Amino acid sequence: MRRIFARIASSAAALIVLSFAVFTLVALSPGDSSAYILPEDAGEEAVEAYREAQGLAKPFGIRYAVFLSSFLSGRWGETIAGSEVAGLIASRVPVTLSISLLSLVMSLAAAIVSSFASLERKTPASAAVTAFAALSASVPLFLSSMILILVFSVLLRLFPVAGYSPLSQGIGEWLGSIFLPSLAMAALHSSLFIMVFRKALRESMGSGYALYAASYGMARLDTAVHIAFRPALPVLVSVAAETTAAMLGGSAAIETVFALPGLGSLMVDAALSRDASLAGILVLLAAMATAAVSIVSELVIFLLDPRRTEAV
Amino acid sequence: MRRVGCALLLILIIFSLAFGGTGDVDAFRRLLPPSLEFPFGTDTMGRSLIERTAGGVMVSIAVAASVTALSLLAGIAAAFCFSFPRLSPVILAVSDCLKAVPSIILALFLSSIAGPGIPNLIAAIALSHAADLARTLYPKVRMLQAEPFIEAERGIGAGRMRIFVFHIMPHLKPYLSLQSVSVFLSSVLEESTLSFLGCGVPVPVPSLGSVLSEVRPVMLSAPWAVFFPAAALLLLSVSLCLIALSLSEPDAASE
Domains along chain A with CATH numbers: 91-268 (1.10.3720.10)
The Cα-based distances of A246 to A19, A158, A254, A310, B247 in angstroms read 20, 28, 12, 23, 24
Phi-psi region of B115 (alpha: psi -120 to 50; beta: other; left: phi over 0): left
Give the chain A residue nearest B227 (alpha carbons).
A147
Cα distance between residue B254 and residue B189, in whole Å? 26
* A263, A278 contact by CB (below 8 A): no
The pTM for the full model equals 0.83
Contacts for A283 with CB less than 8 Å, ≥ 6 apart: A18, A22, B101, B105, B106, B109
Phi first, then psi, for residue B48 (nearest 5°) are -65, 125
pLDDT the model gives residue A57: 63
pLDDT the model gives residue A25: 82
What residues pair up with A84 in beta bridges, in sequence order? A78
Between A75-89, A222-236, B135-149, B219-233, the lowest mean confidence (pLDDT) is in A75-89
Contacts for A76 with CB less than 8 Å, ≥ 6 apart: A70, A85, A86, A89, A281
pLDDT the model gives residue A42: 63
pLDDT the model gives residue B254: 40
> If pLDDT is split at 50, 70 and 90, which confidence band does A312 have?
very low
| % of chain A residues with pLDDT over 70 | 87
Cα distance between residue A254 and residue A50, in whole Å? 39
Of B62-66, B178-182, B214-218, B246-250, give the range with the top mean pLDDT: B62-66
Q: Could you tell me which residue, A163 or A127, shows the higher pLDDT?
A: A127
Contacts for B248 with CB less than 8 Å, ≥ 6 apart: B178, B182
DSSP 3-state of B150: helix
Cα distance between residue B244 and residue B175, in whole Å? 11
Report if residue B166 sits inside a domain: yes
* A250, A141 contact by CB (below 8 A): yes
Q: In the predicted model, is pLDDT for residue A143 greater than 60?
A: yes
Cα distance between residue A222 and residue A224, in whole Å? 5
Give the chain A residue nearest B103 (alpha carbons).
A249
DSSP A262-287: SHHHHHHHHHHTT-HHHHHHHHHHHH
| C-alpha dihedral (B76, B81, B83, B85), degrees to nearest 10 | -150
Are residues A286 and B212, on separate chains, in Cβ contact within 8 Å? no
What residues pair up with B229 in beta bridges, in sequence order? none
CB atoms within 10 A of CB A67: 21
pLDDT the model gives residue B65: 93
Cα distance between residue B199 and residue B204, in whole Å? 13
DSSP 3-state of B42: strand
Report if residue B26 sits inside a domain: no
Residues of A in contact with B136 (CB under 8 A): none
* A163, A177 contact by CB (below 8 A): yes
For chain B, say whether A252 makes contact (Cβ under 8 Å). Answer: yes
pLDDT the model gives residue A40: 60
Q: In the predicted model, is pLDDT for residue B68 greater than 70?
A: yes
pLDDT the model gives residue A43: 66
Domain that holds residue B81: 2-19+45-254
For chain B, say whether A126 makes contact (Cβ under 8 Å). Answer: yes
Chain A stretch 127-146, residues whose beta carbon is closer than 8 A to a beta carbon of chain B: 127, 130, 134-135, 137-143, 146
Q: In the predicted model, is pLDDT for residue B69 greater than 90?
A: yes
Between B20-24, B88-92, B117-121, the lowest mean confidence (pLDDT) is in B20-24
pLDDT the model gives residue A8: 83
pLDDT the model gives residue B178: 86
Q: Could you tell me which residue, B40 or A128, shows the higher pLDDT?
A: A128
| Mean pLDDT, rounded, for B3-14 | 84
Report if residue B60 sits inside a domain: yes
Report if residue B209 sits inside a domain: yes
Of A296-310, B51-65, B214-228, give the range with the top mean pLDDT: B51-65
Q: Quote the mean pLDDT of chain A.
A: 80
Residues of A in contact with B104 (CB under 8 A): 249-250, 252-253
Cα A42 to the chain's mean position, in Å? 43
Report if residue B25 sits inside a domain: no
Cβ-Cβ contacts under 8 Å between A and B: the total is 147
Number of domains in chain B: 1
- Give the pLDDT confidence of A69-79 residue by residue, as tens digits: 777 777 777 77
Report if residue B191 sits inside a domain: yes
Chain B stretch 80-99, residues whose beta carbon is closer than 8 A to a beta carbon of chain A: 93-94, 96-97
DSSP A132-169: HHHHHHTS-HHHHHHHHIIIIIIIS--S-SS----GGG
Angle at A53 between CA A48 and CA A54, to 5 degrees: 100
Q: Which ipTM value was assigned to this complex?
A: 0.80
Between A240-244, B89-93, B114-118, B148-152, the lowest mean confidence (pLDDT) is in B114-118
Residues of A in contact with B209 (CB under 8 A): 140, 142
Nearest to A139, CA basis, from A70, A76, A189, A72: A189
The Cα-based distances of A251 to A38, A92, A185, B197 in angstroms read 34, 12, 8, 12
Calculate how close chain B gets to A127, using CA atoms only, in Å: 6
CATH of the domain at B101: 1.10.3720.10
Report if residue B40 sits inside a domain: no
Chain A stretch 146-185, residues whose beta carbon is closer than 8 A to a beta carbon of chain B: 146-147, 150, 154
- Give the pLDDT confidence of A296-306 residue by residue, as tens digits: 888 888 888 77
Burial class (CB in 10 A: 0-12, 13-18, 19+), B243: buried
pLDDT the model gives residue B252: 44
